[in-house]
């Protein structure tokens, strides 16, 4: 399972590689691990431009210019692969194909990685008791 420092590095590197690119095609290969229908995910992401990738908790958040956020929890064995060619790998969960034909493939051999469309913002609260 990626730890927080790993996710910070992933978010920085993915932002450098993919920000400013427009999503041309979204392919959902394993729908059971998404909280939205493939049609909804395609509707919101296709044609949108990725502005940045952030880490929030143990998730990566892909932020798009149309105020849509795609959340990704890699779970134990999830993997990300950025490539200059469109090539699904074994046990692919989803793929984002950008207008310059760069692809981002999300895979997990245990099929546990989770995608969420517009996930809730995590809020941490500290409670102090006055004595």
Give the pLDDT confidence of 46-91 residue by residue, as tens digits.
Answer: 999 999 999 999 999 999 999 999 999 999 999 999 998 777 677 9
Q: Alpha carbon 92 to chain centroid distance?
A: 13
62 belongs to a structural domain: yes
126 belongs to a structural domain: no
Give the span between the Cα atoms of 63 and 69, in whole angstroms.
Answer: 5
Residue 82: CB partners within 8 Å, gap ≥ 6? 14, 17, 18, 102, 103, 104, 105
Give the model's pLDDT for residue 86.
73
Residue 24: CATH number of its domain: 3.20.190.10
Q: Is the dihedral of CA 82, 44, 33, 28 positive or negative?
A: negative
What are the structure tokens assigned to 21, written together?
Answer: 């690119």
Give the model's pLDDT for residue 122.
64
Give the model's pLDDT for residue 87.
72
Model pTM score: 0.89
130 belongs to a structural domain: no
Lookup result for tokens 């210019």:
65
pLDDT digits 0-9 by tens, 92-111? 999 999 999 999 999 999 99
128 belongs to a structural domain: no
Give the model's pLDDT for residue 85.
79
Print the domain residue range for 36.
4-117
| CA-atom Rg of the chain in angstroms | 15
What are the structure tokens assigned to 105, written together?
Answer: 């493939």
């Amino acid at each position: 399972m990626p730890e927080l420092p790993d996710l910070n590095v992933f978010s920085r590197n993915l932002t450098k590689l993919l920000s400013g690119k427009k999503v041309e095609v979204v392919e959902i290969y394993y729908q059971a691990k998404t909280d939205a229908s493939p049609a909804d995910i395609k509707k919101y992401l296709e044609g949108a431009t990725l502005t940045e990738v952030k880490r929030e908790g143990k998730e990566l958040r892909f932020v798009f210019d149309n105020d849509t956020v795609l959340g990704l929890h890699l779970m134990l064995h999830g993997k990300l692969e950025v490539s200059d060619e469109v090539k699904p790998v074994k046990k692919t969960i989803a793929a984002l194909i950008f207008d310059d034909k760069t692809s981002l493939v999300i895979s997990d051999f245990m099929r546990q990685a989770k995608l969420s469309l517009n996930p809730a913002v995590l809020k941490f609260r500290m409670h102090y008791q006055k004595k």
